[in-house]
Amino acid sequence: MEKTVLITGSSRGIGASTALLAAKQGYNVCVNYLQNKIAAEKVVNEITRIGGKAIAYQADASSETDVISLFSKIDRDFGKLTALVNNSGILETQSRLDVMSLNRLQRVLNSNIISCFLCSKEAVKRMSTHYGGTGGAIVNVSSIAARTGSPNEYVDYAASKGAIDALTIGLSKEVAEEGIRVNAVRPGFIYTDIHASGGEPGRVDRVKNSVPMKRGGQPEEVAKAILWLLSDEASFSTGAFIDITGGR
């Protein structure tokens, strides 16, 4: 049976690494991006180079209209979706809560929370045996920030990831009898471009000594955990979390 995965925000970082690993494991890959078409097409080209199948789809995962259109295009191009990785998300400049604007809060919460709800909703409609589907798997990309709170830096981001943890637990129980497993990974300090968005590109190197393993993680290390949770090897795991934090 063909396997098709949608990975939101997969033009760079953890999403791109997950897309490449998924292709190597035999998935058709739907590469979603918001703005960076060139980066998304680079991921698609790399997948094609190794003999895989991939298509890049532009869509704002926090827009219901965009998400419905995205899933309709995937239906047309690949048929049945079997896996979803909710990876899209943003953070903004390091700041205390008392100086965060309402606009910032809305941007972060919409991008990081609403996107997961909308994409999961459409995935359930396609995977659930209740709707005539044959099952599937969803993996949410949370963050260790959901447990630490990211004080003085990104409490809004941390709160959004706490919401993703709650979604993971609740949705896993809703659809467990319908053939869908819902799990999550919680990355720690990983070398990706997202830190530049927070105003500190070298953040991982600054904080890595606070990690018991004394190093930052690589996107590929997160991707491997995501693909395990999507696989049949995790067939009895739902509502579960893998912390990829170097022991933090």
The residue ranges of every structural domain in the chain are 3-244
CATH of 3-244, one of 3.30.930.10, 3.40.50.720, 3.40.190.90, 3.40.50.1220: 3.40.50.720
- Going by pLDDT thresholds of 50, 70 and 90, the confidence category of residue 198 is low
Q: What is the pLDDT of residues 199-211, one digit of tens each?
A: 677 888 888 898 8
- Computed over every residue of the chain, the mean pLDDT equals 95
Q: In sequence order, what are the residues at sequence separation of 6 or more whose Cβ sits closer than 8 angstroms to the Cβ of residue 198?
A: 91, 92, 93, 94, 153, 154
Q: How is the beta sheet containing 54-58 ordered, strand by strand? A: 54-58, 27-33, 3-7, 83-86, 136-141, 180-187, 241-244
What are the structure tokens assigned to 52, written together? 């895989």
Question: Residue range 225-241: average pLDDT?
Answer: 98
Q: What is the pLDDT of residues 45-92, one digit of tens each?
A: 999 999 999 999 999 999 999 999 999 999 999 998 999 999 999 999
Given a contact cutoff of 8 angstroms between Cβ atoms, the answer to whether 117 and 163 are in contact is no
pTM here is 0.96
Question: Residue range 218-245: average pLDDT?
Answer: 98
Of 27, 57, 157, 191, which residue is the catalytic one?
157
Q: Which residue has the higher pLDDT, 8 or 206?
A: 8
Q: Please count the other Cβ atoms lying within 10 Å of the Cβ belonging to residue 38.
A: 10
- At 197 the pLDDT is 64
Question: Residue range 221-240: average pLDDT?
Answer: 98
Please say if 33 is a catalytic residue. no
User: Can you state the percent helix, strand and coil of the chain, rounding each to 5?
Assistant: 50, 15, 30
- Going by pLDDT thresholds of 50, 70 and 90, the confidence category of residue 194 is confident
What are the structure tokens assigned to 88, written together? 């899209």
Distance set, CA 16 to CA 54, 111, 170, 205, 214 (Å)? 12, 18, 27, 22, 25
Specify the amino acid at residue 219: P
135 has a pLDDT exceeding 80: yes
181 has a pLDDT exceeding 90: yes
Instruction: Say how far apart CA 47 and CA 54 lie, in whole Å.
Output: 7
215 has a pLDDT exceeding 70: yes
